[in-house]
Structure 1
């Protein structure tokens, strides 16, 4: 009875946090990276905290006590007369460094946001339903740049003005909602289908302020604002097959295919002079040709009473479906002759390849004497490429993960999960191209709540006595 009260209180608390979490998705900076200046920003790692702490593996994971948001075929293993609920939050520390004109500049920023709200429940024998609400991508950056002109001999017009200060700022998110079913069509073979809905708003602003080279002259700032409003559907198919299954071990092979889809965001652009009246110079509304990629993911997952380990490979064809190109701002570089030259880079979409590895160790989940032996210890590695190129150069990115799952009571699947992720981006080309080398640390906590036979807590069983 106590467990049921605890689950109920946590569920109510999570429900109360949903409106605030959704508001945070479009009103606060949930990422801090200059790479989010383009497209829909930084893609978030999908899955609940137990799978994210294992490097993000899970395409083939099949466990009746752990939610799997990566493959809808896993919904079919949800036990009868049970409910799984998951809620997670995470905080991040971003550390960015860039070397320009022989000097290294560094910035740091902290963010905090919810990561997922999800549940699974059975519809019939070997037929389950799953729902999840997660952030798909985040935009957050603040960049300031001073453009200096030497004098009339360099530019007869701008030379009379002097320094021009540019400020770029952006924030916003794209949220993903999944609703799907999984069905074990024949023994050891399950299939699943999911409908995904994406929505969100991204705001980008730039401010250009001339500053007089001499005297007390003042110049009005020119301000540009872009709002991207997103609303789109797509779908996903999944399959899982138990290649080996007995009392001691389980080997599962899985695969998913995402159809992709046109985001086609509505873009409202305006440019105005920052004077007393904020005089509008230009304003229009268009649609941006932006497409979510088709995705193919395959994986293998092996489980025993103590060990679980998996490997996933994920391919996304961002480049094949997005032909639009943007350009970075200018970056000062020192030429071989010692002079300073300004360079910009073309930003284009590219296909991505990602490999994920993960392992979990639980010494003895049924040990009645040693509480720490019932904990689950997780470790993972993820390595891949970023979905955009800069000057034709790919950006590598990698992450190392670690986490623990602490059961709330003896023989329980319900747990409190904690996780840490350390990652890097752009380390392969940052020094050579003068781009930002990014590092981050994520701290996460999640609640996995299971009501069912494992703790004699049935939520949907009619009582025998009133």
Structure 2
């Protein structure tokens, strides 16, 4: 009866959380940045909160108490008769600043949404299954700029105000298998399903320079509906594995590819009839890059250290470019183009003594990390540097337990290397996240869920 009740509770929780998470992901802005005007927007940091608190490392993480969303080969570590469930929430604060025409402008925006739902379970000895539902990328912006407008029929109209706005997201669902094909060496494969909607629109409002005549606004609206399946493969090898220490090397490859969205575009005049006019709109292609990631992870009873390197082939798969502009004395405009990116992640975790009976704080895990790389778009060939610093703690729910409550923070900046010279937006953000890890099964911590009791 105890086993049956536990399964019922688990299914009820999962059934309640998944629809809520899906609804939140398809109805809220998860990012607020003018840099999300093109393509699929801003990529969310992958991984459960344990990994994100360590700078985002995880390709080589091999831990029965952590669902690894970065490498499907790690699913093979799931012990028999166990179940690992993870759920995370994240709030973000975006602060954007820019100096245009000598005037300092600022904007602040707050978001709050789920970050991940994931579970891991064994299929048989050495073979594990993993599932995750996570936001992959987000679009959210509201901005405007001015540009002189000239028409062959109307002549010089004068300054025209363009107001742009957009929102939407792309969600990733992953189902994978990890297999330990021989001792300490595992391979994994996963299918990734991407879906979502991105809405982008603009309003063009001209103003006559001669004080005569009126010009109606022109409104544009684009919708990108995404539904596509991709794939991922991974490998992990532990050359050192004993009771005192663990050293694991890992690598993963994402195939990426064209998302092939269904595009609905409309441009019309803001008159009484909202007359549709013929025109073309241009956006950067919605194509996911090839991604190659490699990492190393070392763990002892107290310390854990990880380093990851991630390469994304954005420029090689996206050849399109668009032009944009900002207000200013010289009416500057920029060519926006995708570029290949490299990111380095470093993370560390310290657990003083998870078996300490007297002092609770010594059983907690303390984490910190750093991440540095470049944004995947260039402006007139200039690359935008971005970095983030992270920290967090893991609190076991009871003595000697794997189940835990995790809390993490992240501070990041983007565009500061070019903002003053090019007049771009300087962006900084702060994230606060809470994660819940539920581990069922295991003789070492008495977290039994799937063992039938002898007495009921």
Q: TM-score, normalised by structure 2?
A: 0.93
Which residue does 2:95 correspond to in 1? 95
Which residue does 2:21 correspond to in 1? 21
1:171 equivalenced with 2:167 (yes/no): yes
Q: Which of 311, 323, 330 is equivalent to 1:315?
A: 311
Which residue does 1:290 correspond to in 2? 286
For residue 320 of structure 1, give the secondary structure of its aligned residue in structure 2: helix
Relative to 1, partners in 2 of residues 1:146 and 1:342: Cα closer, same or farther, differing over 3 Å? closer
Which residue does 1:336 correspond to in 2? none
Which residue does 2:232 correspond to in 1? 236
For residues 7 and 356 of structure 1, what CA distance do their matches in structure 2 show? 38
For residues 249 and 317 of structure 2, what CA distance do their matches in structure 1 show? 29
Shift, 1:349, TM fit: 0.8
Structure 1 regions of 5+ residues with no counterpart? Answer: 333-339
Q: Which of 339, 363, 369 is equivalent to 1:350?
A: 339
Q: Which of 180, 187, 201 is equivalent to 2:183?
A: 187
Shift, 1:243, TM fit: 1.3
Bigger shift: residues 446-455 or 297-306: 446-455
Which residue does 2:438 correspond to in 1? 449
Which residue does 1:417 correspond to in 2? 406
8 Å Cα contact 1:267-1:287 kept in structure 2 = no
Which residue does 1:306 correspond to in 2? 302
Which residue does 2:368 correspond to in 1? 379
8 Å Cα contact 2:120-2:128 kept in structure 1 = yes
8 Å Cα contact 1:268-1:284 kept in structure 2 = no
Shift, 1:28, TM fit: 2.2
For residue 319 of structure 1, give the secondary structure of its aligned residue in structure 2: helix
Which residue does 2:40 correspond to in 1? 40
1:245 equivalenced with 2:241 (yes/no): yes
Shift, 1:146, TM fit: 3.7
For residue 331 of structure 2, give the secondary structure of its aligned residue in structure 1: strand
Q: Which of 384, 389, 397 is equivalent to 2:386?
A: 397
For residues 307 and 35 of structure 2, what CA distance do their matches in structure 1 show? 28
> How many equivalent residue pairs?
455
Bigger shift: residues 266-275 or 350-359: 266-275
1:196 equivalenced with 2:192 (yes/no): yes
1:54-73 residue pairs with structure 2 within 5 A? 54-73=54-73
For residues 105 and 385 of structure 1, what CA distance do their matches in structure 2 show? 24
Which residue does 1:141 correspond to in 2? 141
Shift, 1:440, TM fit: 0.3
8 Å Cα contact 1:265-1:289 kept in structure 2 = no
8 Å Cα contact 2:284-2:320 kept in structure 1 = no
Q: Deviations over 1:152-181 (max 9, x none)?
A: 9x999465x554322100000000011001
Which residue does 1:270 correspond to in 2? 266
Shift, 1:4, TM fit: 11
For residue 90 of structure 1, give the secondary structure of its aligned residue in structure 2: strand
Relative to 1, partners in 2 of residues 1:457 and 1:288: Cα closer, same or farther, differing over 3 Å? same
Aligned Cα root-mean-square deviation (Å):
2.7
For residues 190 and 389 of structure 2, what CA distance do their matches in structure 1 show? 29
1:426 equivalenced with 2:394 (yes/no): no
For residues 417 and 427 of structure 2, what CA distance do their matches in structure 1 show? 11
Which residue does 2:252 correspond to in 1? 256
For residues 119 and 354 of structure 2, what CA distance do their matches in structure 1 show? 23
For residues 132 and 353 of structure 1, what CA distance do their matches in structure 2 show? 25
For residues 28 and 87 of structure 1, what CA distance do their matches in structure 2 show? 18
Which residue does 1:437 correspond to in 2? 426
For residues 276 and 405 of structure 1, what CA distance do their matches in structure 2 show? 59
Q: Deviations over 1:62-82 (max 9, x none)?
A: 111111111111111111101
For residue 64 of structure 2, give the secondary structure of its aligned residue in structure 1: coil
8 Å Cα contact 1:177-1:197 kept in structure 2 = yes
Relative to 1, partners in 2 of residues 1:9 and 1:163: Cα closer, same or farther, differing over 3 Å? farther
For residues 50 and 423 of structure 1, what CA distance do their matches in structure 2 show? 18
Which residue does 1:210 correspond to in 2? 206
Shift, 1:451, TM fit: 0.6
Relative to 1, partners in 2 of residues 1:2 and 1:398: Cα closer, same or farther, differing over 3 Å? farther
Shift, 1:326, TM fit: 1.2
1:366 equivalenced with 2:362 (yes/no): no
8 Å Cα contact 1:64-1:78 kept in structure 2 = yes
Which residue does 1:117 correspond to in 2? 117
Structure 2 regions of 5+ residues with no counterpart? Answer: none
For residue 341 of structure 1, give the secondary structure of its aligned residue in structure 2: coil
Q: TM-score, normalised by structure 1?
A: 0.91
1:458 equivalenced with 2:448 (yes/no): yes
Relative to 1, partners in 2 of residues 1:98 and 1:289: Cα closer, same or farther, differing over 3 Å? closer
For residues 5 and 350 of structure 1, what CA distance do their matches in structure 2 show? 52
Relative to 1, partners in 2 of residues 1:50 and 1:4: Cα closer, same or farther, differing over 3 Å? farther
Relative to 1, partners in 2 of residues 1:6 and 1:148: Cα closer, same or farther, differing over 3 Å? farther
Relative to 1, partners in 2 of residues 1:56 and 1:288: Cα closer, same or farther, differing over 3 Å? closer
